[in-house]
Amino acid sequence: MAPFLLRLLLLLPLCFAAWYFAAPLLLQPAEWLTTGLLALTLPEAFAAVSIEARSSMLFDTRLVVHTAEGLAGSPVLSLDPLIYAYNLPVLAALILAAPQSRRRLQRLPLAYALLLPAWVWGICFGFAKAVSFDLGPEVSAQIAAPGWWLEGVALGYQFGYLVLPVFALVFAWYVLCRDDVLALSGAVLAPPKPLTDDGRQVRRMRALQRQRRRAKHRSRRTGRR
Amino acid sequence: MAGERLSGSFLLVFFGVQLVLFTLTLLEPVRRALIVPFTESLALVSSWLMTRLDPAVLAEGVLIQNRHTGFAVEIAAGCNGVEPMIILLAAILAFPASLRQKLQGIVIGFVAIQALNLLRIVTLYYLGQWNQTVFEWAHLYVWPALILIDALVVWLLWVRYLQRPGTSNAVPA
Protein backbone atom coordinates (compact mmCIF):
# COMPACT_ATOMS: atom_id res chain seq x y z
CA MET A 1 0.00 0.00 0.00
CA ALA A 2 2.70 2.54 0.97
CA PRO A 3 4.80 1.95 -2.20
CA PHE A 4 1.64 2.32 -4.27
CA LEU A 5 0.82 5.65 -2.63
CA LEU A 6 4.36 6.87 -3.07
CA ARG A 7 4.35 5.92 -6.77
CA LEU A 8 0.94 7.56 -7.13
CA LEU A 9 2.07 10.84 -5.58
CA LEU A 10 5.22 10.87 -7.73
CA LEU A 11 3.33 10.06 -10.92
CA LEU A 12 0.47 12.48 -10.37
CA PRO A 13 2.39 15.68 -11.21
CA LEU A 14 3.98 14.01 -14.24
CA CYS A 15 0.60 12.82 -15.49
CA PHE A 16 -0.93 16.25 -14.93
CA ALA A 17 1.90 17.89 -16.88
CA ALA A 18 1.62 15.40 -19.77
CA TRP A 19 -2.18 15.79 -19.80
CA TYR A 20 -2.00 19.59 -19.89
CA PHE A 21 0.54 19.72 -22.71
CA ALA A 22 -1.32 17.06 -24.72
CA ALA A 23 -4.71 18.66 -24.02
CA PRO A 24 -5.37 20.00 -27.56
CA LEU A 25 -4.73 16.52 -28.97
CA LEU A 26 -6.73 14.75 -26.25
CA LEU A 27 -9.64 17.13 -26.70
CA GLN A 28 -9.84 16.71 -30.47
CA PRO A 29 -12.22 13.70 -30.41
CA ALA A 30 -14.28 15.51 -27.79
CA GLU A 31 -14.55 18.46 -30.18
CA TRP A 32 -15.77 16.21 -33.03
CA LEU A 33 -18.33 14.47 -30.83
CA THR A 34 -19.49 17.79 -29.36
CA THR A 35 -19.94 19.22 -32.85
CA GLY A 36 -22.07 16.27 -33.91
CA LEU A 37 -24.19 16.23 -30.76
CA LEU A 38 -24.83 19.98 -30.55
CA ALA A 39 -25.62 20.20 -34.28
CA LEU A 40 -28.29 17.57 -33.66
CA THR A 41 -29.73 18.86 -30.39
CA LEU A 42 -29.27 22.66 -30.52
CA PRO A 43 -29.10 23.57 -34.24
CA GLU A 44 -30.75 26.95 -33.64
CA ALA A 45 -28.02 28.00 -31.20
CA PHE A 46 -24.84 26.11 -32.12
CA ALA A 47 -22.73 26.98 -35.17
CA ALA A 48 -19.20 25.60 -34.59
CA VAL A 49 -16.66 24.77 -31.92
CA SER A 50 -12.88 24.94 -31.98
CA ILE A 51 -10.08 24.33 -29.52
CA GLU A 52 -8.57 27.74 -28.93
CA ALA A 53 -5.95 27.02 -26.30
CA ARG A 54 -5.05 24.25 -23.88
CA SER A 55 -7.89 25.13 -21.56
CA SER A 56 -10.36 26.85 -23.83
CA MET A 57 -12.98 25.81 -26.37
CA LEU A 58 -14.59 28.56 -28.45
CA PHE A 59 -18.23 28.13 -29.47
CA ASP A 60 -19.64 30.17 -32.36
CA THR A 61 -23.39 30.60 -32.04
CA ARG A 62 -26.27 31.38 -34.40
CA LEU A 63 -27.85 33.55 -31.73
CA VAL A 64 -28.21 37.31 -32.02
CA VAL A 65 -27.63 39.93 -29.32
CA HIS A 66 -28.19 43.67 -29.60
CA THR A 67 -26.13 46.34 -27.88
CA ALA A 68 -27.57 49.50 -26.36
CA GLU A 69 -26.49 51.35 -29.53
CA GLY A 70 -28.60 49.05 -31.67
CA LEU A 71 -25.71 47.01 -33.08
CA ALA A 72 -26.33 43.27 -33.57
CA GLY A 73 -23.92 40.34 -33.41
CA SER A 74 -23.56 36.66 -32.57
CA PRO A 75 -22.03 35.88 -29.19
CA VAL A 76 -18.97 33.65 -29.00
CA LEU A 77 -18.64 31.50 -25.90
CA SER A 78 -15.46 30.30 -24.28
CA LEU A 79 -15.57 27.22 -22.03
CA ASP A 80 -12.83 25.39 -20.15
CA PRO A 81 -13.16 21.70 -21.15
CA LEU A 82 -10.42 20.59 -18.75
CA ILE A 83 -12.73 21.02 -15.76
CA TYR A 84 -14.48 17.86 -17.01
CA ALA A 85 -11.25 16.11 -17.97
CA TYR A 86 -9.06 16.29 -14.85
CA ASN A 87 -9.97 12.67 -14.20
CA LEU A 88 -7.64 11.42 -16.98
CA PRO A 89 -4.30 12.28 -15.29
CA VAL A 90 -5.63 10.83 -12.01
CA LEU A 91 -6.68 7.61 -13.70
CA ALA A 92 -3.39 7.43 -15.63
CA ALA A 93 -1.45 7.82 -12.37
CA LEU A 94 -3.60 5.16 -10.69
CA ILE A 95 -3.00 2.75 -13.58
CA LEU A 96 0.73 3.40 -13.81
CA ALA A 97 1.20 3.16 -10.03
CA ALA A 98 -0.72 -0.10 -9.81
CA PRO A 99 1.14 -2.86 -7.97
CA GLN A 100 0.19 -5.86 -10.09
CA SER A 101 -0.85 -4.62 -13.46
CA ARG A 102 0.93 -5.77 -16.54
CA ARG A 103 0.33 -3.94 -19.80
CA ARG A 104 -0.10 -0.69 -17.93
CA LEU A 105 0.60 1.49 -20.95
CA GLN A 106 -1.86 -0.47 -23.09
CA ARG A 107 -4.59 0.40 -20.61
CA LEU A 108 -4.16 4.12 -21.05
CA PRO A 109 -6.00 4.35 -24.40
CA LEU A 110 -8.83 2.31 -22.85
CA ALA A 111 -8.91 4.68 -19.89
CA TYR A 112 -9.17 7.59 -22.30
CA ALA A 113 -11.98 5.91 -24.24
CA LEU A 114 -13.93 5.24 -21.03
CA LEU A 115 -13.64 8.84 -19.82
CA LEU A 116 -14.29 10.58 -23.14
CA PRO A 117 -18.13 10.27 -23.08
CA ALA A 118 -18.20 11.93 -19.65
CA TRP A 119 -16.14 14.86 -21.01
CA VAL A 120 -18.46 15.25 -24.00
CA TRP A 121 -21.47 15.22 -21.69
CA GLY A 122 -19.91 17.98 -19.57
CA ILE A 123 -18.92 20.13 -22.56
CA CYS A 124 -22.32 19.81 -24.29
CA PHE A 125 -24.26 20.64 -21.13
CA GLY A 126 -21.80 23.46 -20.38
CA PHE A 127 -22.71 25.02 -23.72
CA ALA A 128 -26.44 24.37 -23.24
CA LYS A 129 -26.32 25.94 -19.77
CA ALA A 130 -24.43 29.00 -21.05
CA VAL A 131 -26.91 29.75 -23.83
CA SER A 132 -29.93 28.96 -21.64
CA PHE A 133 -28.95 30.92 -18.53
CA ASP A 134 -25.72 32.91 -18.76
CA LEU A 135 -26.24 35.07 -21.86
CA GLY A 136 -29.33 36.85 -20.64
CA PRO A 137 -33.04 36.86 -21.46
CA GLU A 138 -32.60 38.04 -25.08
CA VAL A 139 -30.60 34.92 -25.94
CA SER A 140 -32.63 32.45 -23.87
CA ALA A 141 -35.81 33.79 -25.55
CA GLN A 142 -34.38 32.80 -28.95
CA ILE A 143 -34.02 29.19 -27.82
CA ALA A 144 -37.65 29.26 -26.62
CA ALA A 145 -37.05 26.25 -24.45
CA PRO A 146 -39.87 24.92 -22.25
CA GLY A 147 -39.49 24.83 -18.47
CA TRP A 148 -38.78 21.11 -18.27
CA TRP A 149 -35.98 21.49 -20.82
CA LEU A 150 -34.32 24.23 -18.78
CA GLU A 151 -34.60 22.08 -15.63
CA GLY A 152 -33.01 19.22 -17.57
CA VAL A 153 -30.15 21.44 -18.75
CA ALA A 154 -29.48 22.66 -15.19
CA LEU A 155 -29.47 19.10 -13.84
CA GLY A 156 -27.41 17.76 -16.74
CA TYR A 157 -24.83 20.51 -16.29
CA GLN A 158 -24.50 19.91 -12.55
CA PHE A 159 -24.31 16.16 -13.11
CA GLY A 160 -21.64 16.61 -15.79
CA TYR A 161 -19.56 19.04 -13.74
CA LEU A 162 -19.87 17.71 -10.19
CA VAL A 163 -20.69 14.04 -10.47
CA LEU A 164 -19.68 12.51 -13.78
CA PRO A 165 -15.90 13.21 -13.64
CA VAL A 166 -15.70 11.43 -10.30
CA PHE A 167 -18.15 8.67 -11.17
CA ALA A 168 -16.45 7.94 -14.52
CA LEU A 169 -13.03 7.85 -12.89
CA VAL A 170 -14.07 5.34 -10.22
CA PHE A 171 -15.92 3.22 -12.76
CA ALA A 172 -12.99 3.19 -15.22
CA TRP A 173 -10.45 2.42 -12.51
CA TYR A 174 -12.48 -0.52 -11.29
CA VAL A 175 -13.05 -1.84 -14.80
CA LEU A 176 -9.41 -1.49 -15.88
CA CYS A 177 -7.60 -2.32 -12.64
CA ARG A 178 -9.86 -4.75 -10.84
CA ASP A 179 -6.97 -7.00 -9.84
CA ASP A 180 -5.11 -4.06 -8.38
CA VAL A 181 -8.13 -2.89 -6.42
CA LEU A 182 -8.35 -6.40 -4.97
CA ALA A 183 -4.65 -6.56 -4.23
CA LEU A 184 -4.59 -3.14 -2.59
CA SER A 185 -7.66 -3.73 -0.47
CA GLY A 186 -6.70 -7.28 0.42
CA ALA A 187 -10.36 -8.14 -0.08
CA VAL A 188 -12.03 -10.75 -2.21
CA LEU A 189 -14.58 -9.10 -4.44
CA ALA A 190 -14.75 -11.66 -7.22
CA PRO A 191 -17.01 -14.71 -7.49
CA PRO A 192 -14.99 -17.82 -6.67
CA LYS A 193 -13.49 -20.10 -9.26
CA PRO A 194 -14.28 -23.74 -8.47
CA LEU A 195 -11.06 -24.98 -6.89
CA THR A 196 -12.36 -27.80 -4.76
CA ASP A 197 -12.74 -31.36 -5.97
CA ASP A 198 -16.51 -30.90 -6.05
CA GLY A 199 -16.09 -27.87 -8.27
CA ARG A 200 -13.83 -29.74 -10.67
CA GLN A 201 -16.29 -32.62 -10.85
CA VAL A 202 -19.13 -30.27 -11.66
CA ARG A 203 -17.07 -28.64 -14.40
CA ARG A 204 -16.10 -32.04 -15.83
CA MET A 205 -19.74 -33.17 -15.82
CA ARG A 206 -20.83 -29.98 -17.59
CA ALA A 207 -18.07 -30.38 -20.20
CA LEU A 208 -19.16 -33.99 -20.79
CA GLN A 209 -22.78 -32.92 -21.18
CA ARG A 210 -21.77 -30.29 -23.70
CA GLN A 211 -19.72 -32.83 -25.67
CA ARG A 212 -22.66 -35.27 -25.71
CA ARG A 213 -25.05 -32.57 -26.92
CA ARG A 214 -22.65 -31.59 -29.71
CA ALA A 215 -22.18 -35.23 -30.76
CA LYS A 216 -25.97 -35.76 -30.80
CA HIS A 217 -26.43 -32.61 -32.86
CA ARG A 218 -23.76 -33.72 -35.35
CA SER A 219 -25.26 -37.21 -35.71
CA ARG A 220 -28.70 -35.69 -36.42
CA ARG A 221 -27.25 -33.45 -39.10
CA THR A 222 -25.38 -36.31 -40.78
CA GLY A 223 -28.57 -38.48 -40.55
CA ARG A 224 -30.54 -35.81 -42.45
CA ARG A 225 -27.97 -35.76 -45.24
CA MET B 1 -18.14 -11.52 6.30
CA ALA B 2 -15.46 -9.76 4.28
CA GLY B 3 -13.72 -13.05 3.86
CA GLU B 4 -16.70 -14.40 1.99
CA ARG B 5 -16.37 -13.95 -1.68
CA LEU B 6 -18.59 -11.30 -3.11
CA SER B 7 -20.43 -11.35 -6.38
CA GLY B 8 -21.65 -8.45 -8.47
CA SER B 9 -23.74 -7.26 -5.52
CA PHE B 10 -20.80 -5.09 -4.41
CA LEU B 11 -20.79 -3.26 -7.73
CA LEU B 12 -24.57 -3.03 -7.81
CA VAL B 13 -24.78 -1.44 -4.35
CA PHE B 14 -21.69 0.71 -4.94
CA PHE B 15 -22.90 2.31 -8.16
CA GLY B 16 -26.57 2.24 -7.09
CA VAL B 17 -25.94 4.17 -3.87
CA GLN B 18 -23.80 6.69 -5.77
CA LEU B 19 -26.47 7.25 -8.38
CA VAL B 20 -29.19 7.76 -5.75
CA LEU B 21 -27.13 10.06 -3.52
CA PHE B 22 -25.71 12.10 -6.40
CA THR B 23 -29.21 12.60 -7.79
CA LEU B 24 -30.44 13.65 -4.35
CA THR B 25 -27.68 16.26 -4.00
CA LEU B 26 -28.77 17.85 -7.29
CA LEU B 27 -32.36 18.38 -6.11
CA GLU B 28 -33.14 21.91 -4.96
CA PRO B 29 -34.92 21.01 -1.66
CA VAL B 30 -32.00 18.79 -0.63
CA ARG B 31 -29.53 21.50 -1.57
CA ARG B 32 -31.45 24.08 0.45
CA ALA B 33 -31.94 21.88 3.51
CA LEU B 34 -28.59 20.08 3.65
CA ILE B 35 -25.91 21.07 1.18
CA VAL B 36 -26.03 24.86 1.60
CA PRO B 37 -26.07 24.82 5.46
CA PHE B 38 -23.24 22.28 5.41
CA THR B 39 -21.23 24.43 2.99
CA GLU B 40 -21.84 27.51 5.13
CA SER B 41 -20.68 25.69 8.25
CA LEU B 42 -17.57 24.62 6.36
CA ALA B 43 -16.87 28.27 5.51
CA LEU B 44 -17.35 29.19 9.16
CA VAL B 45 -14.98 26.49 10.41
CA SER B 46 -12.30 27.32 7.83
CA SER B 47 -12.53 31.07 8.53
CA TRP B 48 -12.43 30.37 12.28
CA LEU B 49 -9.27 28.34 11.74
CA MET B 50 -7.74 31.02 9.54
CA THR B 51 -8.53 33.89 11.91
CA ARG B 52 -6.42 32.12 14.57
CA LEU B 53 -3.40 32.91 12.39
CA ASP B 54 -4.60 35.75 10.20
CA PRO B 55 -6.87 38.47 11.67
CA ALA B 56 -7.56 39.86 8.17
CA VAL B 57 -9.86 36.92 7.39
CA LEU B 58 -13.59 37.53 7.44
CA ALA B 59 -16.39 35.00 6.81
CA GLU B 60 -19.82 35.88 5.49
CA GLY B 61 -22.06 32.96 4.55
CA VAL B 62 -20.12 30.90 2.04
CA LEU B 63 -17.65 33.74 1.38
CA ILE B 64 -14.22 34.02 2.99
CA GLN B 65 -12.79 37.47 2.53
CA ASN B 66 -9.67 39.46 3.23
CA ARG B 67 -10.94 42.56 4.99
CA HIS B 68 -8.00 44.67 3.78
CA THR B 69 -7.63 43.70 0.10
CA GLY B 70 -11.26 42.68 -0.53
CA PHE B 71 -10.13 39.38 -2.12
CA ALA B 72 -12.71 36.67 -1.48
CA VAL B 73 -13.22 33.00 -2.19
CA GLU B 74 -16.66 31.43 -2.37
CA ILE B 75 -17.21 27.86 -1.22
CA ALA B 76 -19.54 26.57 -3.90
CA ALA B 77 -20.93 23.17 -4.84
CA GLY B 78 -17.99 20.96 -5.72
CA CYS B 79 -15.78 22.64 -3.11
CA ASN B 80 -17.48 21.14 -0.07
CA GLY B 81 -16.19 17.57 -0.32
CA VAL B 82 -19.68 16.15 -0.74
CA GLU B 83 -18.93 14.24 -3.95
CA PRO B 84 -15.91 12.27 -2.62
CA MET B 85 -17.90 11.65 0.58
CA ILE B 86 -20.65 10.04 -1.50
CA ILE B 87 -18.13 7.83 -3.31
CA LEU B 88 -16.65 6.74 0.00
CA LEU B 89 -20.06 6.22 1.60
CA ALA B 90 -21.17 4.04 -1.32
CA ALA B 91 -17.97 1.97 -1.18
CA ILE B 92 -18.31 1.46 2.58
CA LEU B 93 -22.01 0.60 2.40
CA ALA B 94 -21.40 -1.85 -0.45
CA PHE B 95 -18.65 -3.71 1.34
CA PRO B 96 -19.81 -6.41 3.75
CA ALA B 97 -19.03 -5.38 7.31
CA SER B 98 -20.93 -4.92 10.54
CA LEU B 99 -22.98 -1.77 11.05
CA ARG B 100 -20.49 -0.60 13.67
CA GLN B 101 -17.54 -1.06 11.32
CA LYS B 102 -19.38 0.79 8.57
CA LEU B 103 -20.17 3.66 10.90
CA GLN B 104 -16.53 3.79 12.00
CA GLY B 105 -15.43 3.91 8.37
CA ILE B 106 -17.92 6.64 7.51
CA VAL B 107 -16.94 8.82 10.50
CA ILE B 108 -13.20 8.40 9.88
CA GLY B 109 -13.72 9.02 6.16
CA PHE B 110 -15.75 12.16 6.85
CA VAL B 111 -13.02 13.51 9.12
CA ALA B 112 -10.24 12.62 6.66
CA ILE B 113 -11.99 14.18 3.66
CA GLN B 114 -13.14 17.31 5.43
CA ALA B 115 -9.74 17.85 7.07
CA LEU B 116 -8.13 17.82 3.63
CA ASN B 117 -10.95 19.96 2.30
CA LEU B 118 -10.27 22.58 4.98
CA LEU B 119 -6.64 22.54 3.91
CA ARG B 120 -7.83 23.03 0.33
CA ILE B 121 -9.93 26.06 1.25
CA VAL B 122 -7.12 27.64 3.28
CA THR B 123 -4.50 27.07 0.57
CA LEU B 124 -6.82 28.34 -2.19
CA TYR B 125 -7.53 31.51 -0.21
CA TYR B 126 -3.82 32.30 -0.03
CA LEU B 127 -2.96 31.01 -3.53
CA GLY B 128 -5.65 33.27 -4.99
CA GLN B 129 -4.01 36.30 -3.44
CA TRP B 130 -0.60 35.25 -4.67
CA ASN B 131 -1.11 34.01 -8.26
CA GLN B 132 -4.36 33.63 -10.21
CA THR B 133 -3.03 30.97 -12.62
CA VAL B 134 -1.77 28.77 -9.82
CA PHE B 135 -5.08 29.31 -8.01
CA GLU B 136 -7.09 28.19 -11.09
CA TRP B 137 -4.92 25.10 -11.52
CA ALA B 138 -5.14 24.13 -7.89
CA HIS B 139 -8.85 24.91 -7.68
CA LEU B 140 -10.06 23.23 -10.86
CA TYR B 141 -7.74 20.29 -11.35
CA VAL B 142 -5.30 19.44 -8.55
CA TRP B 143 -7.34 19.67 -5.35
CA PRO B 144 -10.36 17.72 -6.69
CA ALA B 145 -7.93 14.96 -7.69
CA LEU B 146 -6.20 14.93 -4.30
CA ILE B 147 -9.45 14.79 -2.36
CA LEU B 148 -10.69 11.95 -4.50
CA ILE B 149 -7.46 10.05 -3.88
CA ASP B 150 -7.93 10.75 -0.16
CA ALA B 151 -11.35 9.06 -0.28
CA LEU B 152 -9.85 6.14 -2.16
CA VAL B 153 -7.04 5.68 0.35
CA VAL B 154 -9.43 5.85 3.31
CA TRP B 155 -11.55 3.10 1.77
CA LEU B 156 -8.53 0.89 1.01
CA LEU B 157 -7.20 1.34 4.56
CA TRP B 158 -10.63 0.61 6.02
CA VAL B 159 -10.95 -2.62 4.01
CA ARG B 160 -7.42 -3.64 4.98
CA TYR B 161 -8.30 -2.96 8.61
CA LEU B 162 -11.28 -5.31 8.27
CA GLN B 163 -8.98 -8.06 6.97
CA ARG B 164 -6.65 -7.87 9.97
CA PRO B 165 -6.52 -10.96 12.17
CA GLY B 166 -8.55 -10.36 15.30
CA THR B 167 -11.29 -8.32 13.64
CA SER B 168 -14.56 -10.12 13.06
CA ASN B 169 -14.19 -9.65 9.28
CA ALA B 170 -10.68 -11.06 9.03
CA VAL B 171 -10.04 -13.32 6.07
CA PRO B 172 -9.04 -16.81 7.17
CA ALA B 173 -5.55 -17.69 5.95
| Closest Cβ–Cβ partner in A1, A167, A171 for B156 | A1
What is the model's pLDDT at position A225? 54
Report chain B's mean pLDDT, rounded to a whole number. 84
pLDDT of residue A129: 92
Give residue B171's pLDDT band: very low, low, confident or very high (50, 70, 90): very low
Contacts of B12 in chain A (CB under 8 A): none
Average pLDDT over residues A77-92: 93
- pLDDT reported for residue A191: 46
Predicted pLDDT at B2? 42
Give the pLDDT band (50/70/90) at residue B165: low
A29-34 average pLDDT score: 95
> Does the CB of B134 have a partner CB in chain A at under 8 Å?
no
10 Å CB burial of residue A193 (0-12, 13-18, 19+) is exposed
Q: Is the pLDDT of residue A145 over 80?
A: no
Instruction: Give residue A20's pLDDT band: very low, low, confident or very high (50, 70, 90).
Output: very high
DSSP states of B17-39: HHHHHHHHHHSHHHIIIIIHHHH
For chain A, list residues whose CB is within 8 angstroms of any CB belonging to chain B: 1, 5, 8, 12, 16, 80, 82-83, 86-87, 89-90, 155, 158-159, 161-163, 165-167, 169-171, 174, 184-192
Residues of chain A with pLDDT > 70, as a percent, come to 88
pLDDT tens-digit profile of B75-107?
877 788 898 899 899 989 988 889 999 999 999
Q: Helix axis angle, A104-129 relative to A23-41, nearest 10°?
A: 40
Tens digits of residue pLDDT in A173-197: 888 888 787 777 775 554 444 445 5
**Alpha-helical regions (H) of chain A:** 2-21, 23-41, 87-96, 104-129, 137-143, 147-158, 164-176, 178-185, 197-224
Does position A88 have pLDDT exceeding 80, yes or no? yes
pLDDT recorded at residue B26 = 79
The answer to whether A20 and A86 have CB atoms below 8 angstroms apart is: no
**Which residue in chain A is spatially nearest to B18 when comparing CA positions?**
A167
Q: Are B109 and B158 in contact (CB under 8 A)?
A: yes
What would the pLDDT profile of A38-61 be if each residue is shown by its tens digit? 999 988 889 999 998 778 899 999
Checking if the pLDDT of B32 tops 70, the result is: yes
pLDDT the model gives residue A92: 95
- pLDDT of B3 reads 41
CA angle A49, B77, A91 (to 5 degrees): 65
